Amino acid sequence: MAGKKEKAETAKDVKAAAHGDAAATESKKGSGLAGKLLVAAFVSGIIITETFVFFFLVPSGEQIALLAEQRLIAQAQEVDAKDKEHEHEEEEIVEFHFPIIKVPFKPAETDTYYTVEFILYAEVLAKNLDHLIELFASMEGRIKNRLMLEIRQTSLQELEENQLGLLQRRLLATVTEMLGKDDLLLNVGFAEYQVLED
């Protein structure tokens, strides 16, 4: 009897061990399935995040084209603004001052001698100033001589300050002719002017 009892206990032990192994195997299967589910959830989360980013954060073709167009317009406006600023600089009018000229003369209608002293200035576009300086330097003596001749051929009445408009136009024509450039000088005027009786 003792042998039968031992056999029964041994069979129970074997069954219990087999049942324990099955439970452990089931437990392992359960934890493996949970791990697989966790990996699948993680991968699904990544795919959903990428899809969200693609549809909501990455601009569409139309948006990219619109952004590119806006950039091109901004660049064109910037270039246009720089061109206008450059044109404005070139259109700026500056003055070129001739050296002081003193002309002693005796008008035909009187026996009195006079001296006309003046500083003539020329209005010129800023972009042409260097060219004017260069031309003037190459013919300064000739220009001064012609200006003196013009003054000596002027009547005393024309030399009065309220009559200087006509003289200015004549001097502008004279200097323009001497320089050989019709569009270089815009105007001339007197920075200083006086007629002194000797």
pLDDT, one tens digit per residue, over 19-50 is 555 555 555 566 677 778 888 888 888 888 88
Distances (CA, A) of 51 to 44, 47, 59, 69: 10, 6, 13, 27
CATH number of the domain encompassing residue 183: 3.30.479
pLDDT digits (tens, 9 = 90+) for 150-188: 988 888 888 887 888 889 999 999 999 998 887 899 999
Distances (CA, A) of 10 to 2, 3, 21: 12, 10, 16
Q: Express as a percent the part of the chain with pLDDT over 70.
A: 78
Q: Express as a percent the part of the chain with pLDDT over 90.
A: 36
3-state secondary structure of 113: coil
- Residue 159 structural domain: 93-197
Is residue 74 within a helix (H) or strand (E), and if so which, with residue range?
helix 61-91
- Mark whether 66 and 99 lie in a shared domain: no
pLDDT digits (tens, 9 = 90+) for 69-99: 888 888 888 888 777 766 655 689 999 999 9
- Mark whether 49 and 70 lie in a shared domain: yes
- Mark whether 40 and 123 lie in a shared domain: no
Is the distance from CB of 136 to CB of 143 less than 8 angstroms? Answer: yes
* CA–CA separation, 77 and 71 (whole Å): 10
Report how many domains make up the chain. Answer: 2
Domain end among 45, 60, 88: 88
